[in-house]
Amino acid sequence: MKQDMIVILDMGSTENTVIAREIRDMGVYSEIHPHDITAEELKKLDNVKGIILNGGKNRIVDGASVEIHPDLYDCGIPMMAVDHPTAKCDQKLDKLPDEKVLRQFVFNTCQADPNWNMKNFIEDQVELIKRQVGEKKVLLALSGGVDSSVVAALLLKAIGDQLVCVHVNHGLMRKNESESVIEVFRNQLHANLIYVDATERFLTKLENVADPEQKRKIIGSEFIRVFEEEARKLDGIEFLGQGTIYPDIIESGTKTAKMVKSHHNVGGLPEDLQFDLVEPLKQLFKDEVRACGVELGLPHKMVYRQPFPGPGLGVRCLGAITRDRLTAVREADAILREEFEKAGLDKKVWQYFTVVPDFKSVGVRNNARTFEYMVIIRAINTIDAMSATIEKVDWDILQKITERILTEVENVNRVCYDMSPKPPATIEFE
């Protein structure tokens, strides 16, 4: 079944995604498209029940007016202009349409059916994936993150054995992370999973590399190299599964932001390894991806886990990575996560982790001088990761975590709590 859709035309408003979300929350599927879409392209989208022009029909952006294609007015699909005062986009005069007005338009004017839910979405995608892939094979880099896990589960449901997952352990994973990917996907879901332990290879490449950007680049390019080597060993792969989600697509369309850090995700495979992409989550917002994962039966822990950067603990073991500090950051992180879970903070705090700097400080243990590392705890809340505030963690909880780190983690004699918001700090240290 194909779900009814309301299309929002992007006239440069910053509120498009909020409106799309609001309509989806009403149970009606909604997508954002460029303002210059033609009537023909719109018809191809199938089941479009209404069009919303967000930003008025003659919006001025940076002095130029943004007009929609004239055929759209005669294509027989109801249209609503959310009129704002004409404004330059940096003047922030955007205002959302009233929910009542929006409901009236969606349900009364457009007669859209509220048939957007995860069950229908999965049913549709399974059909689409089967149609796209046929009898061929799909390769997927399964990191164990939310997006790649949900794609894996969805592809598995659609094509079973034709899916080949590759999990590369770069040696910078959190405690038991690779083990849980193997447990869930190989042992429980019986997926075709190739596990590559590339720890030694990554740590050797990273030896004595202290510059954060260089570390990120090495981890990113080595990851692609390992994945490529595995891909070349396999026969008959024609598709590459990817966990692209809606914000990735929206952001890459309008990105003007300056690069602060080079983020790492799989991509950039060599040209002779040409695959067609299968991206079944590319229309979903993050919380919808999670809902999809739950519907597919993935463990709650996997679907609701906090964000974890692609370069992993590599950017939390500061400066040149050493094995003793990598172990320290991993063990301290496991303790922090365990205690946050016990206190129910895992459901409240957006992201929390530990960091180990590359210098030592003086301490005393059993009446003898020590010279050891420190662990820094960071716990932050944010909506979009662009800015963040720190969590005011209860003193007793911090004390308990500190005691455990100081007794259970080797080579550590000091624990600090990072009080810095973003900006001026970033969430990660590197």
How far is it, in rounded angstroms, from Cα 2 to Cα 16? 23
Q: Is 97 in the site for ligand XMP (CB under 6 A)?
A: no
Shortest gap between Cβ of 118 and ligand XMP (angstroms)?
A: 24
Residue 323 burial by Cβ neighbours in a 10 Å radius (0-12, 13-18, 19+):
exposed
Element (H, E) at 365: strand 361-365
Q: Which stretch binds ligand XMP (CB under 6 A): 12-20, 112-120, 152-160, 307-315?
A: 307-315
Q: Does 316 bind ligand XMP (CB under 6 A)?
A: no
Least distance between ligand XMP and beta carbon 366 (Å): 37
Q: Which stretch binds ligand XMP (CB under 6 A): 97-105, 295-303, 305-313, 405-413?
A: 305-313
Give, in order, the Cα–Cα distances in Å from 140 to each of 137, 305, 374, 383, 385: 10, 20, 38, 29, 26
Structure tokens at 298: 């993935």
For position 263 contacting ligand XMP by CB under 6 A, the verdict is yes
* CA 311 vs CA 173, 199, 266, 427: distances in Å: 9, 13, 11, 14
The residue range among 82-90, 224-232, 256-264, 295-303 that interacts with ligand XMP, by the rule CB under 6 A, is 256-264
| Least distance CB 220 / ligand XMP (angstroms) | 8
Question: CB under 6 A: which stretch of 14-22, 43-51, 92-100, 306-314 binds ligand XMP?
Answer: 306-314
Order of strands across the sheet with 79-82?
A: 29-34, 5-10, 48-54, 79-82
Q: What is the DSSP string of 138-154?
A: EEEE--SSHHHHHHHHH
Give me the least distance between CB of 385 and ligand XMP, in Å please.
4
Selected binder of ligand XMP within 243, 293, 309, 319 (CB under 6 A): 309
When asked if residue 385 is in the footprint of ligand XMP (CB under 6 A), the reply is: yes
Check binding of 389 to ligand XMP (CB under 6 A): no
Question: 301: buried, middle or exposed (CB in 10 Å: 19+, 13-18, 0-12)?
Answer: exposed
Q: Report how far apart, in Å, the C-alpha atoms of 216 and of each of 117, 211, 290, 381 are.
A: 38, 9, 27, 24
- In the bound state with ligand XMP, the residue whose beta carbon lies nearer, of 116 and 246, is 246
Which region among 16-24, 191-199, 246-254, 258-266 touches ligand XMP (by CB under 6 A)? 258-266
Task: Please write down the long-range contacts of 246-250, taking CB distance under 8 Å and 24 or more positions apart.
Answer: 246/281, 246/282, 246/283, 246/284, 246/285, 247/17, 247/285, 247/286, 248/282, 249/282, 250/16, 250/17, 250/32
Exactly one of 21, 186, 261, 360 binds ligand XMP (CB under 6 A); that residue is 261
| CA separation, residue 383 to residues 89, 105, 250, 389, 426 (Å) | 22, 29, 17, 10, 14
312 part of the interface to ligand XMP, by CB under 6 A: no
120 vs 3: CA distance, rounded Å: 8
Show the DSSP H helices in 343-424 as ranges: 395-408
Member of 134, 307, 362, 389 binding ligand XMP (CB under 6 A):
307
Q: Is 310 in the site for ligand XMP (CB under 6 A)?
A: yes
Question: Rule CB under 6 A: which of 337-366 touch ligand XMP?
Answer: 351
Residue placing its CB nearer to ligand XMP in the complex, 30 or 265:
265
Helix (H, G, I), strand (E, B) or coil at 188: helix
- For the CB of residue 292, give the shortest distance to ligand XMP in the complex, in Å: 19
Residue 78 or residue 421: which is nearer to ligand XMP going by CB? 421
Greatest Cα pair distance in the chain: 86
Tell me the closest approach of the beta carbon of residue 326 to ligand XMP, in angstroms. 17
Among 155-163, 261-269, 369-377, 404-412, the segment contacting ligand XMP (CB under 6 A): 261-269
Using DSSP bridges, classify how beta strands 163-169 and 237-241 pair: parallel, antiparallel or unpaired.
unpaired
Q: Using CB under 6 A, which of the segments 65-73, 172-180, 308-316, 363-371 binds ligand XMP?
A: 308-316
Helix residue spans in 234-322 (DSSP H):
246-254, 286-295, 300-303
Nearest CB to ligand XMP, comparing residues 192 and 381: 381
Two structure tokens written together for 87: 């404004």
Which residue lies nearer to ligand XMP by CB, 387 or 399?
387
277 binds ligand XMP (CB under 6 A): no
Binding to ligand XMP, residues 131-170 (CB under 6 A)? none
Question: Can residue 265 be called a binding residue for ligand XMP (CB under 6 A)?
Answer: yes
Work out the number of other CB atoms within 10 angstroms of the CB of residue 74: 8
Nearer to ligand XMP, 280 or 310 (CB): 310
- Residues of this chain that bind ligand XMP (CB under 6 A): 260-261, 263-265, 307, 309-311, 351, 385, 422, 426-428
